[in-house]
Chain A
Amino acid sequence: MSIGQLAKHRRLGLSDQDVIEMYTYMLKARKFDERSLLLQRAGKIAFHVSGIGQETAQVAAAFALQKGKDYFLPYYRDYAFVLAVGMTMKELMLSVFAKAEDPNSGGRQMPGHFSHKKIHIVTGSSPVTTQVPHAVGFALAAKMQRQDFVAFTTFGEGSSNQGDFHEGCNFAGVHKLPVIFMCENNQYAISIPLHKQVAGNISERALGYGFPGYKVDGNDALEVYRVVKEARERAVRGEGPTLIEAVMYRISPHSTADNDLLYRTKEEVEENRAKDGIPRFKQYLIDNGLWSEQQDEELLEAIKREVNEATDYAEKAPYPKPEDTLRHVYAEDGEVPAWQ
């Protein structure tokens, strides 16, 4: 590379170390995901909902946000995202095995229902899209308290048809709130393909709510990074929300309970597997002289060890006590505020 011709990532403000880290997180998420599927098929865990094919956009978005400052409201395929903002492999495995030490819910929720107050991941649930108004609420608090953090939330293209999406967007648009809505359009909502799910264009919906919407290739890490970064800057400047539609493909079936060959062909899946963002990003790193096959092998080894350790730990960890069922419905004595 000649002097004066900066690599794309540098132009965007990412260091060499940053992009290697990004790649690492993508791989970790991928390996975690693959391992979870094996655990489910082996009967060790009850359920797994996979995010394979979506890691690139998630990690890229995470790197454009500020850990410890911004608030994150992900949806249930965002393993890569939560790893990138600070959740550990061990913590993910604990939630997969539903053990007491799981920080997401103490073993109460299904896997993929992330929550971790310390790293600003807000608790999520199964009814889709409810997190969108919550994100708007965080953004409202930022505005009212004159804080310069943003709220970032993701959801699928199916979820973008729920009332809560439209109500949330409109509310944020009216009050110009610092929130980023990122739709991970992975082409399928369980078995329903995009053309049966969405009329019109998701990114163009933003127009109706008075703020910009951008469509971006979800497998192009640096593009996603760029768009999210710009959205964050807009938000912090007080210019209001942004809607980002990251186009990608859900390589796995919806969940371990879904037989995807009922609604799509193997050819289609393989065709899209070839477009996977991770090998693409690996190639980018290699092309820029930042990575080698040797390093890749070493990294995979290290990740494998990490996944194994995490799996072992979680498998051996104790379950919550049965009587813990009764706790935390309301604030417990001692947590009750002054008026009482």
Chain B
Amino acid sequence: MAVITYLEAIRSAMEDEMRRDGSVFVLGEDVGKGGVNNATKGLRDLFGEERVMDTPLAESAIVGVSIGAAMYGMKPVAEVQFADFIFPAANQIISEAARIRYRSNNDWNCPIVIRAPYGATGGGALYHSQCPESVFFGTPGLKIVAPSSPYDAKGLLIAAIRDPDPVLYFEHKKCYLGVTGEVPEGDFTVPIGKAEVKRQGTDITVIAYGIAVNYALQAAEELAREGISAHILDLRTLQPLDKEAVLEAAAKTGKVLIVHEDNKTGGVGAEVSAIIAEELLFELDAPIQRLCPPDVPAVGMNPPMEKFFLLSADKLATAMRQLALF
């Protein structure tokens, strides 16, 4: 097993799948040179510029053309350069991709993957840091994944490419080079729709996805020294949510803290909270908490605003401690 970065996990997933299946191809702005974040580095040299296709600057077309090719039978992996710029394609994603199977009564289907780099890295400001997953969340017909580790990143991307339905793949920009981990050689997948317990615990349950998982793990280490034991569930897939895993993790301690970098109101955490409240009233030992950035359009450029807005291991630790002591 090699220790690789989250970014390399994503890149190698595409490489492996393109090797395995000739109908898989990659398209997007600047993917030929390797992509602005190096996610597709080296692929053009391996597979040629037809299969690693530079597109014009037109997100709706990138997704729309991918949908057409997918309906024919190919497996396009479309890249939206930054998730902040996915909105011109929203019509194609929501009105079209999500509905093709349903509206044709299972005659046509749409096996596309749309990769969207999201999340704040610092210095990205309002339009290079957004977390727009909640905009698409709740659209039936779409699958949405958001890995937190290199292993999950690779496994989920492979699973997404092989999935016969449209998958929105949210890759956290700060995890690209900031998170490394062991990833096995060879073919493997992580099933879409299954969360994973990343840390066993008995005092509080933290449910998170993306970079928040990593912060939670760091905070848990610190809290363990204080005698607080945190149970951490990584959602991995946002849609469909792994309800069973959520309920099991919540019931384990009765104290739940949901964390994500997307705004609080209307975020995925709200749905997770509702599910727990609906099904586990008598297991709850504390009100269900959500730790999310404030409801402002996005994170500002200047450092004080960044610090105020963004999550950190410290903020997680404070919230987790408070909940444990309740």
- In the complex they form, do A and B come into direct contact, defined as C-beta atoms under 8 angstroms apart? yes
Query: Are A130 and B92 neighbours in the complex by a CB distance under 8 Å?
Result: yes
Contact B105 A130 (CB under 8 A): no
Residue of A109, A136, A137, A340 with highest tally of chain B CB at under 10 A? A137
Within 8 Å by CB of A133, from B64, B105, B162, lies B64
B72 and A168: CB pair below 8 A?
Answer: no
Asked whether B71 lies within 8 Å of A137 as measured between CB atoms, the reply is yes
Of the candidates B65, B100, B141, the one whose C-beta lies within 8 Å of that of A168 is B65
The answer, yes or no, to whether B279 is at the interface (CB within 8 Å) is no
Q: Is A331 within 8 A of B61, CB to CB?
A: no
Which residues of chain B in 131-161 are interfacial with respect to chain A, using CB atoms and an 8 Å cutoff? 140-141, 143, 158-159
Interface flag for B25 (CB, 8 Å)? yes
Instruction: Contacts A116-B107, A133-B92, A141-B69 given; indicate if A329 touches B60 (C-beta within 8 A).
Output: no
At the interface, yes or no: B96 with Cβ under 8 Å from chain A? yes
Known contacts A134-B64, A339-B159; is-contact A123 B164 (Cβ 8 Å)? no
Chain B residues, CB < 8 A from A127: 91, 95-96
Say which size band chain B's interface belongs to: 35 or more
CA gap between A69 and B191 in the complex, in Å: 36
With an 8 A cutoff between CB atoms, is A59 at the interface? no
Hey, which chain B residues are within 8 Å of A138, CB to CB? 68-69, 71-72
B-contact 0/1 string along A131-150, CB 8 Å cutoff: 01111111111111100000
**A164–B53 alpha-carbon span in the complex (Å):** 19
Other-chain contact of A328, B69, B76, B102, B158 (Cβ < 8 Å): B102
Q: Mark A72-112, 1 if CB is under 8 A from B, else 0.
A: 00000000000000000000000000000011111011000
A124 to chain B, nearest CB (A): 9
Contact of B101 among A135, A329, A340 (CB under 8 A): A329
In the bound complex, CA of A253 to CA of B73 (Å): 38
Q: Taking CB as reference atom, which chain A residue is nearest B76?
A: A137
Indicate which residue in A104, A164, A337 contacts B164 across the interface (CB closer than 8 Å).
A337
A143 proximity list for chain B (CB < 8 A): 50
Query: Is B304 engaged at the interface, CB distance under 8 Å to the other chain?
Result: no
Q: Is the CB of B103 within 8 A of A105?
A: yes
Task: Kindly supply a per-residue 1/0 record for chain A positions 229-269, scoring 1 wherever the CB is within 8 Å of any chain B CB and 0 otherwise.
Answer: 00000000000000000000000000000000000000000
Contact (A170, B58) CB under 8 Å given A130-B92, A141-B72: yes
Partner of A144, one of B50, B100, B105: B50
Residues of B within 8 A of A125 (CB): 95-96, 99, 103
| Nearest CB in chain A: distance from B143 CB, A | 7
Is the CB–CB distance between A331 and B101 below 8 Å?
yes
B12 within 8 A of A: no
User: Contact at A171–B165, with CB atoms within 8 Å?
Assistant: no
Q: Which residues of A contact B69 (CB under 8 A)?
A: 137-138, 140-141, 144
**B34-85 with Cβ < 8 A to chain A:** 50-51, 53, 55-56, 58, 60-61, 63-74, 76
**B104: interface (CB < 8 Å):** yes
Q: Are B158 and A168 in contact (CB under 8 A)?
A: no
Q: How large is the interface on A (under 10, 10 to 19, 20 to 34, 35 or more residues)?
A: 35 or more
CA distance A113 to B55 in the complex (A): 29
Whether A167 contacts B61 by the Cβ 8 Å rule is yes
Complex Cα spacing A329 to B102, Å: 5
What's the Cα separation between A170 and B141 when bound, in Å? 29
Judged by a CB distance under 8 angstroms, whether B88 is at the interface is yes
Chain B residues near A42: list those with CB within 8 A: none
On whether the beta carbons of B91 and A130 are closer than 8 Å, the reply is: yes
Nearest Cβ in chain A — how far from B262, in angstroms? 23
Interface check B163, CB cutoff 8 A: yes
Tell me whether B109 is interfacial, beta carbon within 8 Å: yes
Question: How long is the Cα–Cα vector from A171 to B141 in the complex, in angstroms?
Answer: 27
Q: With both chains docked as a complex, state the minimum distance between the C-beta of B55 and any C-beta of chain A, in angstroms.
A: 7
Residue with the greatest number of chain A CB neighbours at <10 A, chosen from B60, B189, B191 = B60
Q: Does B106 contact A (CB under 8 A)?
A: yes
A109 touches B103 (CB 8 A): yes
A208 proximal to B (CB < 8 A): no
Q: Is B215 an interface residue (CB 8 A)?
A: no
Say yes or no for A174: interface residue by CB 8 A criterion.
yes
**Min CB–CB distance A282 → chain B (angstroms):** 36
B96 touches A134 (CB 8 A): yes
Whether A338 contacts B162 by the Cβ 8 Å rule is: yes
Q: Which of A117, A136, A140, A168 has the most CB of B within 10 A?
A: A140
Q: A137-B68, A171-B55 are in contact. Are A117 and B107 (CB under 8 A)?
A: yes
Extra contacts besides A133-B64, A328-B106 (9): CB < 8 Å: A115-B104, A127-B95, A133-B92, A136-B61, A137-B72, A145-B74, A171-B55, A329-B140, A330-B143
- A contact set with B: CB distance below 8 Å: 71, 102-106, 108-109, 113, 115-117, 122-123, 125-127, 130, 132-145, 151, 163-164, 167-168, 170-171, 174-175, 327-331, 335-340
What are 24 A-B residue pairs whose CB atoms fall within 8 Å in the complex? A109-B103, A115-B103, A115-B107, A116-B107, A117-B104, A117-B107, A122-B108, A130-B92, A130-B95, A134-B68, A134-B71, A136-B65, A138-B71, A140-B68, A140-B69, A144-B25, A144-B51, A164-B92, A167-B58, A171-B58, A330-B143, A336-B164, A337-B163, A340-B191
The 3 closest A-B pairs by CB, nearest first: A137-B68, A133-B64, A106-B105
